[in-house]
Amino acid sequence: MKNMSKIFFLPISLLICFTTHAQNTKLTGILKNIAAAEVTFYRPTKSFSYDNFKEARITVPVTNGQFTVALTVGSPEMIEFSCTDSITGQYLSRLLFFKKGYELKLRLTLNKNELNIATEGVGANDNKQLNIYSRIGFTELFDRSDSVSGSVYNYIVKEHKMDSILLAAYINAHHPSPEFIRAWKYELKYAILNEFYQYSEDMKHQWGWPYNRNYDKWIDIQDKLFATVPLSDDNALVSFNYRELVHMFLIRKCERLFRDWRLNKYAFLTEWYGMDTGKANKEFLEDMTNRPRQKIIERNFHGKVKEYTYALLLENAIESSDLKNIQPIYADFVKEFPASSYIKMFQPEFSKMFIRAKQPLTDKMIFVKDGDKINTWENILSLVKGKTVLLDMWGTWCVPCRQQLERNSHAIKEYFKGKGLDYLYIANNDQGNEQRWKELIAYFNLEGSHILASKKLTNDIMSKVNATGYPTYIIIHKNGSFELSRAGYPLNRELLITQIEQALQ
């Protein structure tokens, strides 16, 4: 994947010898002038959002400058090789091109930041030195607080022209395979759109004011670029840039739908839900991720790309523990793509999730009496007086909250079982969402006390404990004193456990 803050070298200093048996490819390598404890192979053809299935990112230890890895290669694919020099801190990366039957030896030497390369064997002409500027990154070249869309666009176009010249020269000099040429032409075909789209969307989140000041200009260039290439192209799936674009489009388009809803509910609901009614509005508010993404997929993609974008949606639901509408969406996916290889990945996960979704509330999930009348932090401290309590400020809508509950809740309770720790869960910004609240309490098996907070209670707690985001973990002592978790996000479970143990002493 692209790392905008690093310098990319194409290719890296290593010796790789790989032999192919059927579809299995064995790679052995020797790093020259690079001190690295491990090397990584990233395979976008195996990747979704988070690599939950551990197929996309393969990390291999380096011993005495040598490493070995076995891969299974079917269709031609680009694979990013990377490592970090532990002496200089320099991040080094190269795109390799793999095809069944290759027996390739690459000898590369890094000397004073200059790379020398010698290649031989079957596939050598597909893995000569190719320094593509669009893989380097350029964000540090612009002042984001004052950058304008035209300057960024002109830079990317200039970059693309240089890359096109370099690729043409490479093809003329080395006569690579047709598959290599096709893959790299797709890489460059989608480079301008992907680079600009990612930069402009990052601007929206990180530099809101300068972006909004020129919003129409950013969107105008985006729209014109999207008109230059097909958004759904099965053959382009071999390209890093294309897969990044499709992934980002699915996320950012969903965000754009929320903006459209805010600005003009009638137009939005009519266009995307076919009606402007309270029912449609309620449906959108209850699920602003899964169903909207499915609608985006159905409207914009087809064929293998549609199958891939459905997989992105489904994996995101697993990663974020977001079950809203996911059962019928998964059924739609299986119906349309019954032979999909993704089904083998997803079926075990969804089977477990759907069973958990049927779990009932138990008598160990205690809803605080008159919880809707509790409006101050002092009321909470009075409620738990004399107890050591782990308080979780969360929300059903909060993806990080659900992720941390999934990853840590059970383990923490197992560790402190019988040790005198109590649990209080306060759901925030969930007024009117009581059914979803109780469903997730049962789903995550949140044994402990529960309060559905009023806006007043939420504001009072967050202000008085000096917290700003969710989830927020607070350790309340028996004497009424309290402390915020120091475990950070993502949660450092061991650090939180140590902090709780000290409170229990």
Q: How confident is the model at residue 13 (pLDDT cuts 50, 70, 90)?
A: very low
Q: How far apart are the C-alpha atoms of 94 and 185, rounded to whole Å? A: 17
Quick one: tokens of 13? 């200093």
pLDDT at 12 over 70: no
**pLDDT at residue 21, rounded to an integer:** 40
pLDDT at 14 over 70: no
**pLDDT at residue 206, rounded to an integer:** 79
Q: How confident is the model at residue 6 (pLDDT cuts 50, 70, 90)?
A: very low
| pTM over 0.85, yes/no | yes
| Minimum mean pLDDT range among 40-44, 98-102, 246-250 | 98-102
Quick one: tokens of 285? 């508010």
| Minimum mean pLDDT range among 27-31, 87-91, 162-166, 297-301 | 27-31
**pLDDT at residue 419, rounded to an integer:** 96
**pLDDT at residue 70, rounded to an integer:** 78
**pLDDT at residue 210, rounded to an integer:** 81
**pLDDT at residue 224, rounded to an integer:** 95
The whole-number average pLDDT for the span 262-279 is 91
DSSP annotation of 4: T
CA angle 209/252/471 to nearest 5° reads: 80
User: What separation in angstroms does the CA of 107 have from each of 15, 27, 34, 123?
Assistant: 4, 13, 13, 13
DSSP 3-state assignment of 77?
A: strand
Q: How far apart are the C-alpha atoms of 390 and 485, rounded to whole Å? A: 9
pLDDT at 271 over 60: yes
Q: How confident is the model at residue 19 (pLDDT cuts 50, 70, 90)?
A: very low
Higher pLDDT pick, 105 / 255: 255
Q: How far apart are the C-alpha atoms of 387 and 149, rounded to whole Å? A: 56
Quick one: tokens of 232? 């759904």
**Residue from 236, 210, 350, 240 nearest 303 by CA:** 236
Give the strand order in the sheet containing 14-21: 66-72, 24-31, 14-21, 103-111, 114-122
**pLDDT at residue 464, rounded to an integer:** 97
pLDDT at 136 over 60: no
The whole-number average pLDDT for the span 75-83 is 86
Task: Please enumerate in sequence order all residues whose Cβ is within 8 A of that of 452, keeping only pairs 6 or more positions apart, or say none.
Answer: 371, 372, 427, 430, 431, 434, 437
Q: How far apart are the C-alpha atoms of 261 and 43, rounded to whole Å? A: 37
| Minimum mean pLDDT range among 5-9, 77-81, 407-411 | 5-9
Q: How far apart are the C-alpha atoms of 94 and 116, rounded to whole Å? A: 13
Q: How far apart are the C-alpha atoms of 132 and 43, rounded to whole Å? A: 18
Quick one: tokens of 278? 């309270």
The CATH number fitting domain 365-504, selected from 3.30.2090.10, 3.40.30.10, 3.40.50.300, 3.40.50.1000: 3.40.30.10
pLDDT at 418 over 70: yes
Higher pLDDT pick, 115 / 111: 111
Q: Could you report the per-residue pLDDT of 207-225, keeping only the tens digit for each?
A: 878 888 888 999 999 999 9
pLDDT at 106 over 90: no
End-to-end CA distance of the chain: 46
Q: How far apart are the C-alpha atoms of 289 and 250, rounded to whole Å? A: 10
| Minimum mean pLDDT range among 108-117, 278-287, 357-366, 436-445 | 108-117
Question: In the CATH scheme, what is the homologous superfamily, with its name and number, of domain 1-129?
Answer: Beta-1,3-xylanase, CBM31 domain (2.60.40.2450)
Residues of the chain with CATH 3.40.30.10: 365-504
β-strands 365-367, 114-122 pairing? unpaired
Task: Please enumerate in sequence order all residues whose Cβ is within 8 A of that of 286, keeping only pairs 6 or more positions apart, or say none.
Answer: 324, 433, 436
Residues of the chain with CATH 2.60.40.2450: 1-129
67 touches 53 (CB < 8 A): no
pLDDT at 26 over 60: yes
Average pLDDT, the chain: 88
- The alpha-carbon radius of gyration of the chain (Å, integer) is 26
